[in-house]
A and B are shown apart, each in its own frame.
Chain A
């Protein structure tokens, strides 16, 4: 009985507290697999119309990131612990391994860190400002501190609640990219056989 009361008290005090980056990281970490749709709008300065693209994304804690653009043309990007693979149209896959090119791989880790709110990697590369926007919503503004990131982006903004809902990238050249995620599907909590194949090379 005492235990239940204690638990309830703990829960209340937890709810009363503001959300922190650590909470977000913990919450993301509790989702072994998340599938979602993405919609990307990319505005390049000097170009009349933005570039729209859309597709499917799969984030698996144990495997990595699978990003498949379906429109306007198919392109797949897979990032895992030791590979970075890009498949485009009919071309042979481009594979970069961690051993052969840590420089490029740094970027890989970073991308995954963004999607998993991995505090350690983020702190190494950005100064961050976290705000609780109420109703379980939060915003994280990241300012790059390391090269080559600081040559590419002025800020990267993440927004979400239980899931990551939006990433906004401000390029240094004045370009702007916005990626929004929808239709999050955490179940099944394990990768299906077909999904596992996406990470096999």
Chain B
């Protein structure tokens, strides 16, 4: 009978494996945090454009090399040569050489009628009288450097106009020998270099190597130029720092975990098999969860995966409960009989937990829905593995009496007979919970989750101060079905931004200096109207000029991107093969994020992206949502208890769950942490684990001592695994560990509350 059950489960597991194998290649593993947001709040930026920009920005690298207080490009030149030899870098750019400068001027001259800047456009309005005056003023100015040749070739001085306009939009840097150079307050000169990573900057191994190589180069530079200094900027450095930190966590905490769990299992069971069995049930749970979630949603978010895995990890409790039962009563009962004994508690725990997690399917977030389905199906599969397979897997496991039985018995006795314990412990925990929760602070600021390395932050700030280009990750994305549409939308946005700057809502912004063909046509019309006036005014001043060339000189985005003049701007423009295009407008010094959001909402094809605000909103959204879901889950659990056990015992059985949640939060508050999304996620786990402990105890067929041993082992296992996260160097993870450890410890302490009282049992 049971044998058939085992074979059927094997068949189902095989089906799940096949399912996963077919689904996985087609599935999309989504790792963008933004896609966790509800679809409506994302804006309508085509995802390819958004991803294209983000990937590109993540690849950017920037260096500033200082030779000291005297300007000297040698150190920067050396640095550039070294960078160009690095296989992981592409497009390393330093100074613009003479040839580049010539090409630059040539392109501007040959396309001057299509590259009219805003200021010139303003002077050309109303017949171009103002442009004529401006040309005259340039001619008369001793320092303008207008030559006869320039006047003959470009009488409207369009090239001059657009260059002056560019210089004004340019950063706070000056040009020295072709290099962009800034000077800091201490008088040091800094030379700017750009480059791009060849691969994605999140490839951990490659990132580490690149950072090490760059550090070595920096040492090398110091030997060649003792006065020299380098500052670097790029996502690479942050991702490398994060992965180094994670690696440190994994290697130290991971080792402690493995040794701890191994010793524990050996000490209790005198065999490593329980460890393998735990791993197997969790693995099958993860397998089933992934397959079912992919089947339902067609995709899986990375964050869901990580989170769900830890929830499914809780299912190791099922294995431990059954194995403890076997170890203690293996002598008198057959494996199947032992299973019958624990089965009601297992199924109840499973059902209650599954209900608690399935409630989350109501959430309007795809990420949390996936989590609900994953957790529920994963837990069911884990439990079924224990039920169907493990009676056959436990043969020959050592059988022994409950270790530390005197201590455990005393603990149980105290709960059943001493009012001081039965009422005192929960009351004390209640006080602690209330006191802690009263002083709990909420913080959704993503920046506070991870302490960034000070030297990286300092360099970043210094570079921002020198170049005027921050890494705020605040920008407007303008997009359209065609390049022309995108450019026209940019032109609608430009006056709004100028107004916002005037109102001091923002400090600066960067618009690509490229006009739509429609605008270029309009400019040409202006030029044709202005040319005769100019000739007349110059003639009046005794300066005869030939008629200017008024042919169309169209500059398409394609032509622009291939030309030298787009150097330094290319990052801000993206055209997809299907013609869809996007432009990035970085905005610096944002004082009023809302105003920009309003501008974006008003204009078609414009979206305001403030990554930090967006993340903070996302985190606070999820946090409040999870709070509600958690409350709903607690209510659902309470109802299920009351229905089963009656009002009094039912409500009593919820107390451990409530206290464990409360104590988890109190621990967070007392340890000086603030409440954020990660602590809420820990509470979700605490709830599931608390249910297990309570239900293992309340099983009328179970022996309380065996149950206590089982949950003691389960507690220690969880503390050795997830609890180790307390020692993580990443603050968010550490706070997760604190909530989890204290929460489940409290659940463990109060679980005997679910025991039937002594009187009733007799």
Contacts and interface: CB of A to CB of B under 8 A. Distances in A.
B122 to A, nearest CB: 9
A39 to B, nearest CB: 12
Contacts of B177: 147
Contact of A44 (B146, B167, B170, B178): B146
B47 interface: no
Interface stretch (B137-145, B352-360, B577-585): B137-145
Given A101-B170, A169-B142, A171-B147, A73 B175 contact: no
Interface in B200-228: none
Contacts of B176: 146-147
Interface stretch (B15-23, B148-156, B296-304, B623-631): B148-156
Contacts of A45: 147-149
A13 to B, nearest CB: 36
Contact of A152 (B130, B140, B145, B543): B145
Nearest to A40: B142
Interface in A93-116: 96, 99-104, 106-107, 111
Given A45-B147, A96-B168, A169-B142, A103 B152 contact: no
Contacts of A148: 175
A177 interface: yes
A173 B140 contact: no
A171 B145 contact: yes
B142 A42 contact: yes
B148 A175 contact: yes
Given A89-B133, A104-B167, A169-B142, A47 B174 contact: no
A44 B175 contact: no
Interface in B159-181: 167-168, 170, 172-178
A188 interface: no
B541 interface: yes
A46 B167 contact: no
Contacts of B397: none
Interface string B100-144: 000000000000000000000001000000100110110110110
Interface residues of A, number: 41
A75 B543 contact: no
Among A45, A49, A173, the one with the most B-chain Cβ atoms within 10 Å of its Cβ is: A173
B176 to A, nearest CB: 6
A171 B149 CA distance: 13
A44 B140 contact: no
Contacts of A173: 145, 147-149
Contact of B174 (A53, A103, A111, A174): A103
Interface in A14-59: 40, 42, 44-47, 49, 51, 53
A19 B427 CA distance: 96
Nearest to A99: B172
A88 interface: yes
A72 interface: yes
Contacts of B148: 44-47, 173, 175
Contacts of B137: 73, 75, 86, 88
Contact of B542 (A42, A49, A100, A102): A49
A143 interface: no
A2 interface: no
Nearest to B541: A72
Contacts of A146: 176
A103 B170 contact: yes
A179 interface: yes
A69 interface: yes
A102 B140 contact: no
Contacts of B151: 44, 46-47
Contact of B173 (A47, A103, A179): A103
A73 B142 contact: no
Nearest to A167: B142
Interface of A: 40, 42, 44-47, 49, 51, 53, 69, 72-73, 75, 86, 88-89, 91, 96, 99-104, 106-107, 111, 146-148, 151-153, 167, 169, 171, 173-175, 177, 179
29 contacts: A40-B140, A42-B142, A45-B147, A45-B148, A47-B148, A47-B151, A51-B140, A51-B541, A51-B543, A53-B140, A69-B140, A72-B140, A73-B136, A75-B137, A75-B140, A88-B133, A91-B134, A101-B170, A102-B174, A103-B167, A103-B175, A107-B143, A111-B143, A146-B176, A147-B178, A153-B145, A169-B142, A171-B145, A174-B147
Closest 6 CB pairs of A and B: A46-B148, A173-B147, A152-B145, A177-B142, A103-B174, A45-B148
